[in-house]
């Protein structure tokens, strides 16, 4: 078994939920907690500098380097799938947008049979997690570890976007996290404070690092969960060339996210037996839903040339970027001190929907390929995502080697309604850009371009150019049906001592950026593990 040690709780993955768990479980000094992270420390200035996420996306220096399988619905293209491999996980890599999701998302989880996961059940955990610096609102938290800030709408293009959206017919929405209907246009909330990123590692892990009962091991690749007589008893992991075994006296908790949690279960023999045997893994527990139910927010952007030299395009030039970096390093100020977004909108593409199905962000430059290609002219774009996709994909291992990436199959546009909704979103974006508020700035349309007019042309363009917004979820689904992997206590069905606590447990992806909801899952999961209850939390809030 190699080097053997023991602890009470093993947490696999120091991402958005894992850092929350490490903090909350180790708050009791009698609990010995070990947190294992495949990546390294979060020391890079590009992590903590808000605008640094463009550099992180371009270089891939703190992610797993994943790409999807060829996508039949996208003309056989492989998509870039950045996933954080560092303390803080993807919360150290993302664009820092803080959106909890629509209240109906969580009520739907409860309607599916998941007790304790309605919006009213989850709200106390959102509040407990958050330290919001904006206007008072009973739905918002004031004393939590995760600092969130409301971006001011000051850029001329952002002001034009808000006004144009209202001219289009959208209401103004001053708080997308209030629990009210998301529809409307308004300011963006971000996990930023004091001109720095607030990842889960900064908010939750760093304050707990001095606790003697918390051990954090980085560059530790977990290869297998150890199961004996129907109970998870520990894990095996590798650091460098050295193999280790750590035993859990209480629980093993997977928090690796929607890719790595199902991958580890499958490597451990937990999943579809036929699929496991096909890649050389001996099945130990038949749980066919592991890796199924993958959901994501497909993304696209409508790009517009700008007639005034006010876009962020010059800031991407090497010299200007170096100056911004130096200014931030010296003074924590300047262009690099923000995430480059100020306003966003949620819209319904058709009447009768329970919640908006499209989310728009106005970007002050035009780029492609996760920011790895900046378009070399002044422009702006409406970047948008499909909020409630009906297509479902999968995460399946292709080898019994934990170092080999699993097969990521988004299966975009399996359901035609997803393509139709994204097509209609192109039309809405064009109509917003056509409003009088954009008259001082509107040049020609860069993309899809004036030649892409008909429904069929737009759909073909989407198949050739849509991409991921990196909100992977659902692959260890919470529920009671045949595809469910965990119950509403986040315990893996049919096994003792094993839970999954991350975005993979979402039965359906939330309507918005997934980081806030994943942190909430970490908060609620910690209470489930410790035996606390939502009602008690609500009374003390």
Residues in binding site for FAD: 86, 94-97, 222
Q: Is the dihedral of CA 99, 100, 104, 108 positive or negative?
A: positive
**Residue 112 CB partners (closer than 8 Å, separation 6+):** 479, 507
**Whether the Cβ atoms of residue 152 and residue 342 lie closer than 8 Å to each other:** yes
* Omega of the bond leading into 13 within 30 degrees of 0 (cis): no
- Per the annotation, binding residues are 86, 94-97, 222
Contact, 372 vs 352, CB < 8 A? no
Taking alpha carbons only, the member of 68, 61, 64, 58 closest to residue 467 is 68
Q: Rounded to whole angstroms, what are the CA distances from 110 to 119, 122, 258, 487, 517?
A: 9, 11, 21, 12, 15
Task: Please tell me the distance from the alpha carbon of residue 458 to that of residue 448, in angstroms, as a whole number.
Answer: 8
How far apart are alpha carbons 432 and 438 in whole angstroms? 8
Instruction: Please tell me whether residue 402 adopts helix, strand or coil conformation.
Output: coil
Q: Is 244 a catalytic residue?
A: no
SS3 label, residue 478: strand
DSSP class of residue 205?
I
Query: Which neighbouring-strand residues pair with 222?
Result: 237
**Cβ-proximal residues to 331 (8 Å cutoff; 6+ apart), any chain:** none
Token pair 């989407």 is found at: 462
Active-site residue, selected from the candidate residues 108, 471, 493, 532: 471
Taking phi over 0 as left and psi of -120 to 50 as alpha, with beta for the rest, 456 belongs to: alpha
Listed residue (131, 160, 460) closest to 307, CA to CA = 160
Backbone phi, psi, residue 44, to 5°: -60, 135
The C-alpha atoms of residue 520 and residue 148 are separated, in whole angstroms, by 14
Which residue from 8, 10, 527, 531 is spatially nearest to 255, judged by alpha carbons?
10
Q: Which residues pair with 33 in a beta bridge?
A: 9, 214
What CA–CA distance (Å, rounded) separates 377 from 1? 58
Name the one residue in this structure whose structure tokens are 């996961």: 117
In whole angstroms, give the CA distance from residue 75 to residue 71.
Answer: 7
Which strands make up the sheet holding 130-132, listed edge to edge? 130-132, 146-150, 189-190
The Cβ of residue 22 has, within 10 Å, a number of other Cβ atoms equal to 31
- Rounded CA-CA distance 533/190 in Å is 29
CA distance 208 to 210: 6
- The two structure tokens encoding residue 258: 């929607």
Catalytic residue numbers, as ranges = 471
């Amino acid at each position: 078994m190699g080097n053997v040690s023991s602890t009470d709780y093993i947490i696999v993955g120091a991402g958005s939920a894992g850092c929350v768990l490490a903090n909350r479980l180790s708050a009791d000094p009698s609990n010995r907690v070990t947190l294992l992270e495949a990546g390294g420390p979060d020391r890079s200035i590009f992590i903590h500098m808000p605008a640094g996420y463009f550099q992180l996306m371009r270089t891939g220096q703190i992610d797993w380097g994943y790409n999807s399988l060829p996508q039949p619905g996208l003309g056989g293209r492989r998509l870039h799938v950045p996933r954080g491999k560092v303390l803080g996980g993807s919360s150290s890599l993302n664009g820092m947008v803080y959106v909890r999701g629509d209240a109906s998302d969580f009520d739907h989880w409860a309607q599916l049979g998941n007790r304790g996961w309605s919006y009213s059940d989850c709200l106390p955990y959102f509040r407990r997690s958050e330290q919001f610096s904006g206007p008072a609102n009973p739905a918002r938290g004031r004393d939590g570890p995760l600092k969130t800030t409301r971006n001011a709408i000051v850029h001329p293009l952002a002001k034009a976007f808000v006004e144009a959206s209202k001219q289009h017919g959208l209401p103004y929405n001053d708080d997308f996290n209030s629990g009210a209907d998301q529809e409307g246009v308004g300011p963006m909330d971000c996990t930023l404070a004091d001109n720095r990123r607030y990842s889960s590692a900064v908010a939750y892990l760093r304050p707990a690092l001095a606790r003697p009962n918390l051990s954090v091991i980085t560059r530790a690749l977990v290869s297998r969960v150890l199961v004996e007589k129907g109970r998870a008893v520990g894990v095996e992991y590798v650091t460098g060339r050295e193999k280790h075994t750590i035993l859990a006296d209480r629980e093993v908790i997977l928090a690796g996210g929607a890719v790595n949690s199902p991958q580890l279960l499958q490597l451990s023999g937990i999943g579809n037996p036929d699929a496991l045997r096909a890649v050389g893994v001996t099945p130990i527990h038949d749980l066919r839903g592991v890796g199924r139910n993958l959901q994501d927010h497909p993304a696209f952007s409508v790009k517009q040339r700008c007639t005034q030299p006010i876009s962020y395009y010059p800031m991407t030039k090497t010299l200007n970027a170096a100056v911004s970096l130096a200014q931030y390093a010296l003074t924590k100020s300047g262009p690099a001190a923000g995430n480059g977004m100020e306003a966003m909108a949620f819209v319904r593409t058709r009447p009768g929907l329970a919640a908006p199905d499209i989310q728009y962000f106005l970007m002050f430059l035009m780029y492609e390929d996760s920011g790895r290609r900046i378009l070399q002219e002044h422009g702006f774009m409406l970047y948008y995502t499909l909020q409630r996709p009906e297509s479902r994909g999968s995460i399946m291992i292709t080898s019994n080697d934990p170092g080999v990436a699993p097969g990521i199959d988004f299966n975009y546009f399996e359901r035609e309604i997803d393509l139709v909704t994204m097509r209609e979103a192109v039309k809405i974006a064009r109509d917003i850009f056509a409003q009088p508020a954009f008259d001082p700035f509107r040049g020609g349309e860069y993309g899809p371009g004036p030649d892409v007019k008909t429904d069929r042309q737009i759909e073909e363009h989407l198949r050739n150019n849509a991409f991921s917004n990196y909100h992977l979820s659902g692959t260890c689904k919470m529920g009671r049906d045949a595809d469910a992997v965990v119950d509403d206590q986040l315990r893996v069905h049919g096994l003792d001592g094993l839970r999954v606590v991350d975005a993979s447990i979402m039965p359906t992806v939330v309507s918005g950026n997934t980081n806030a909801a994943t942190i909430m899952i970490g908060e609620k999961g910690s209470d489930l593990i410790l035996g606390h209850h939502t009602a008690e939390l609500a009374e003390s809030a």
